[in-house]
Amino acid sequence: MTASVLARDLRGFDSIDLEQLNELAALQTRVDRKYVVAAGMLGGVISGLDSDTRALEIDGVRASHYESVYFDTDTLDSYQAAAHRRRRRFKVRTRAYLDSADCFLEVKTRGGRSVTVKERIAHPAERNSGLTDEGVDYVDSALASAGIDGLGNDGTGSGETGARALHPTMVTRYRRTTLYVPSGRSRATIDLDLSWTTTDRLGVEGESFSTPGIAIVETKSGSTASDVDRVLWANGIRPVNISKYGVGMAAIHPGLPSNKWHRVLESQLLPAAAAAPSHLTD
Question: DSSP readout, 117-160?
Answer: EEEEEE--GGGTTS--HHHHHHHHHHHHHTT---TT-SSSSSS-
Say if residues 223 and 31 touch (Cβ distance below 8 Å). yes
The span from the CA of 265 to the CA of 49, in Å, is 28
User: Could you give the maximum distance between any two Cα atoms of the chain, in Å?
Assistant: 58
Output the pTM of the full model.
0.90
CB 282 within 8 A of CB 276: no
DSSP 3-state of 76: coil
Pick the closest to residue 58 from 93, 98, 118, 12 (CA basis).
98
Q: Estimate to the nearest angstrom the gap between the alpha carbon of 134 and the chain centroid.
A: 23
233 alpha carbon, distance to own chain's centre: 22
163: nearest Cα among 107, 95, 226: 107
Angstrom distance (rounded) from CA 91 to CA 79: 8
Contact criterion met (CB below 8 Å) for 216 and 36: yes
- What is the Cα–Cα distance from 277 to 229, expressed in whole angstroms? 32
Please tell me the CATH superfamily of domain 3-274, with its number: VTC, catalytic tunnel domain (3.20.100.30)
The answer to whether the CB of 88 falls within 8 A of the CB of 146 is: yes
Q: Which pLDDT does position 55 carry in this prediction?
A: 94
> For position 222, what pLDDT does the model report?
75
Sign of CA dihedral 86, 92, 96, 97: positive
Within its chain, how far is the Cα of 221 from the centroid?
Answer: 17
Domain boundaries, the chain: 3-274
Phi, psi of 61 (to 5 degrees): -110, 135
Per-residue pLDDT of the chain (282 residues; tens, 9 = 90+): 566 668 777 888 999 998 888 888 765 456 789 999 999 999 999 999 999 999 999 888 889 999 999 999 999 999 999 999 888 899 999 999 999 889 999 999 986 665 678 899 999 999 999 999 999 999 999 999 888 888 877 655 567 889 999 999 999 999 999 999 888 788 899 999 999 999 998 889 999 999 988 999 999 887 788 899 999 999 999 999 899 999 999 999 999 999 899 999 999 999 888 887 655 554
Q: What are phi and psi of 230, to 5 degrees?
A: -65, -40
- In this prediction, residue 155 carries a pLDDT of 58
Nearest CA to 216 out of 187, 253, 177 is that of 177
